[in-house]
Chain A
Amino acid sequence: DAGVIQSPRHEVTEMGQEVTLRCKPISGHDYLFWYRQTMMRGLELLIYFNNNVPIDDSGMPEDRFSAKMPNASFSTLKIQPSEPRDSAVYFCASSLGWTDYEQYFGPGTRLTVT
């Protein structure tokens, strides 16, 4: 398997623009997680899905952030409108579930909002 795939790897955008980050989890994994990593706050869980259904979005910073998982092989994290404080590395991870709690991380998307 190719592992968790994220695109784009780097994104530079201007404040106010819409940003869409994409993730393809490992095939067969039932759980998908979106994280944000910054120097100040470390690794934060934003939202996670089980079988394409959002389970816990309490980590989503505000209404400007939204996430969807239309099918088992694709998820998006959207920021609209973007702000400079959204600059961070965004990671997607997937997990098999059942008795396996291990999360497999993608390479991340480095977002810079100017």
Chain B
Amino acid sequence: AQSVTQPDIHITVSEGASLELRCNYSYGATPYLFWYVQSPGQGLQLLLKYFSGDTLVQGIKGFEAEFKRSQSSFNLRKPSVHWSDAAEYFCAVGGGSNYKLTFGKGTLLTVNP
């Protein structure tokens, strides 16, 4: 069975500081990995995705994530956080023939001015 763990429920950073959100997954084959962001009262928006190839993937809004197979991780990073990045972030894993995605519980990001 596939699963996703986001160890941090809530993270607070100062504006301009760097950010890393952790994601660990369990999946029996080559995973497809995603990061979504949800602003208050909104649906989920895709930030970036990994299917294959280069393990460092770039996304929208200056985010990037690195796939590390040996660690079963897909951590999200941003070098300098903006106040508008305050939101909830979800990691998800999928693959195979069922097209389902399994989401983590999410990490709530607060940005201090």
Contacts and interface: CB of A to CB of B under 8 A. Distances in A.
Q: Which size bracket describes the interface of B in this complex?
A: 20 to 34
Interface of B: 32, 34, 36, 42-46, 49, 51, 90, 94-95, 98-101, 103-106
Contacts of B94: 101
Nearest to B106: A42
Interface of A: 4, 31, 33, 42-43, 45, 48, 50, 55-56, 91, 93, 95, 97, 99, 101-108
Which applies to chain A's interface (DSSP): helix, strand, loop or mixed?
strand
A31 B106 contact: no
A42 B98 CA distance: 21
A97 B100 CA distance: 10
Contacts of A33: 100
Contacts of B100: 33, 45, 48, 56
A106 B43 contact: yes
B108 to A, nearest CB: 11
Given A42-B106, A43-B103, A95-B99, A102 B46 contact: yes
B44 A105 contact: yes
